Structure 1
Amino acid sequence: MQLRLTRKLICAVLLGGCVAVSPVFAGEPSGGLSSAEQSNYLAELKRLYLTQNERQALLAHSNDLLKTYALRAAYQVGQAQRQDRLYQLSVTGPGELLLREEVRSESGTDVAVRNQRIVLFGVDPYVRYDCPASGIRCVLHNPQDGSPLLSIVRDHKGAAELAKALSFLIRNLQKG
């Protein structure tokens, strides 16, 4: 039920953004973002999450997208070791994000948690992603060094929206 509601809210934001402005994908940094597009996007997120704080809206939207597009064991048909991969972002300080990764076995008995601190000052704010045609997942890359940061279910639109939200969040955190 929550997943369906989250998807409907995300679709409403995306459709509203598509009517007002042309789409820009964070995976393609050559285009750049206009200030009008940025302000429209942020205004829609603030309205959706009922806050006046851009950072809180971006963080909530990013975490909702991570829940919606989580790579679950149920999607991994035919894989030897099926696992749930769940992520959550939090702000730990000026210019820092904490990425919490939780990996659960299919049975739910084995749980591994890993925290990764990401320092954002001086990095390119554009988050890049890959969705290989032969795989079951999309990989978003760490803006610091281009290494794999997190994996979500293979959904190009979901990966593009998550990369866009993370790019805006990184820019917001780089401001201090």
Structure 2
Amino acid sequence: MLLRLTSKLISAVLLGGCLLAGPLLAAESAATLGGAEQERYLSELKRLYLTQDERQALLAHSNDLLKTYALSAAYQVGQAQRQDRLYQLRLGAPGELLLREETRNAQGTDIAVRNQRIALFGVDPFIRYDCPPGGISCVLFSPLDGSVLLSIVRDHQGAAELAKALSFLIRNLQKG
């Protein structure tokens, strides 16, 4: 009996540690990503998207990740209000990013579009994210005020990669 309780306690502690460590490690890796590793990451993106412009490569990569990890109605089995959420990023004025959010119901008949301007000068470039254990989605938070910026399908690696790409894109746009 004691052995079973001990193993349950150890499992709970390990599970809790893993759930907390994911976002913390992602934030830590993004924060420490610099120098040679940053150059390698950016050169891989430029090679992948066949451009010499870091900004264009980061924008294309971010948009591809948003398509890949889009939260579609098909992932929302059992939800009352199933809907597709599609996002697209564009460049605005210097130091500004434009986010387009398109929401469609499961039948595809009702479509709502929301455009948001994100002024990036003076904000922390590191994007935080969270993938709640009981949820079906991961959320990425706005660098402006910490509110929810966008929602993607629940995938820790996808959220980490998108947060990394957006963080680099924001840093690049802050250069002017």
TM-score (norm 2): 0.84
The structure having more radius of gyration, on CA atoms, is: 2
CA contact (8 A) 2:102 2:112 kept: yes
Q: Which runs of 5+ in 2 are unaligned?
A: 1-23
- Deviation track 1:151-173 (CA, whole Å, cap 9, x = no partner) reads 00000000000000000000000
Q: Give the C-alpha shift of residue 132 in structure 1.
A: 0.3
Matching residue of 2:68: 68
Runs of 4+ in structure 1 displaced over 2 angstroms?
24-31
Please state whether the residue corresponding to 2:74 is helix, strand or coil: helix
Whether the 8 Å contact between 1:25 and 1:161 is mirrored in structure 2 is: no
Per the alignment, residue 112 of structure 2 pairs with: 112
Alpha-carbon distance in 1 for matches of 2:88, 2:143: 17
Which residue of structure 1 lines up, in the alignment, with residue 172 of structure 2?
A: 172
1:56 equivalent to 2:70? Answer no
Task: Describe the shift of the 1:51–1:30 C-alpha distance in structure 2 as closer, same or farther (beyond 3 A).
Answer: closer
How many Å separate the matches in 2 of 1:125 and 1:57? 17
- 8 Å contact 1:25–1:160 — kept in the other structure? no
Q: Is the 8 A contact 2:86 2:102 kept in 1?
A: yes
Q: Is residue 125 of structure 2 the alignment partner of residue 92 of structure 1? A: no
**Aligned positions, number:** 153
Q: Which amino acid aligns with 1:165?
A: A
1:104 alignment partner AA: R
**Contact 1:82 1:105 (8 Å CA) reproduced:** yes
Structure 1 equivalent of residue 140 of structure 2: 140
- Show structure 1 runs of 5+ residues with no match: 1-23
Contact (CA 8 Å) 1:98, 1:117: kept in 2 or not? yes
Q: Aligned with 2:117: secondary structure?
A: strand
Shift of 1:35: 1.2
* Aligned-pair identity (%): 78
Q: Deviations over 1:11-41 (max 9, x none)?
A: xxxxxxxxxxxxx965337852221111000
Return the alpha-carbon distance in structure 2 between the equivalents of residues 73 and 27 of structure 1.
Answer: 29
Task: Specify the code of the residue in structure 2 equivalent to 1:70.
Answer: A
Shift of residue 137 of structure 1?
Answer: 0.1
Q: CA–CA distance in 2 between the matches of 1:30 and 1:155?
A: 17
Secondary structure at the counterpart of residue 37 of structure 2: helix
